[in-house]
Amino acid sequence: MTRNLWTRALWGGVIGTVAQDLILLIGRGAGWVKTNMLSSLARLFTTQSVSTTPSGQILGFVVHILTGAILALIFAAIIRALHSRHNLIGGVIFGLIMWLAWGALLAPSGLASAPWSLGTPTTLFTLAGSLAYGLILGYAVSEEAVKERS
């Protein structure tokens, strides 16, 4: 028995968010990514100094997982309304929109810089992370995923 669309979207969002964080972690570890999204998200709930501690990073990760899951449910509602069944491209487009929104919404608030303003490596890694999130999410809610589980 296959899970319903909402459950698949929820898990796709969580797994996609973890993949995005791993890509950003690799980029930060190599010195190529100049932003720390987990600290930025932790700053929504705590101070600047606490957001960079291990506890702040865990808080940022939890916030990111929850945000990824909520956005995945929004994506599922959109594809359900459009009666879409093959959603890989839709997921990639959704990931691109989320990347653009990250820079357009968080930069003016002062929580984070727009990823495209921090140099080419940061731009590429943050874009790759967002596209990976969208691709995983799109696959999770596509007919291909349902057929494999049947």
Taking the C-alpha atoms of residue 85 and residue 143, their distance in angstroms, rounded to an integer, is 5
- Per-residue model confidence as pLDDT tens digits over 57-77: 999 999 999 999 999 999 999
CB atoms within 10 A of CB 120: 9
Model's pTM, two decimal places?
0.89
Q: For residue 107, what are its two tokens?
A: 């930069």
Sign of the dihedral through C-alpha 17, 41, 129, 23: negative
Residue pointed to by tokens 């865990």: 58
Helices (H), 30-53: 37-42, 48-51
Percentage with pLDDT > 90 across the chain: 66
Task: State CA 71 to chain mean position distance.
Answer: 8
- Per-residue model confidence as pLDDT tens digits over 102-114: 888 877 777 677 8
| Domain boundaries of the chain, sorted by first residue | 5-149
Taking the C-alpha atoms of residue 100 and residue 141, their distance in angstroms, rounded to an integer, is 22
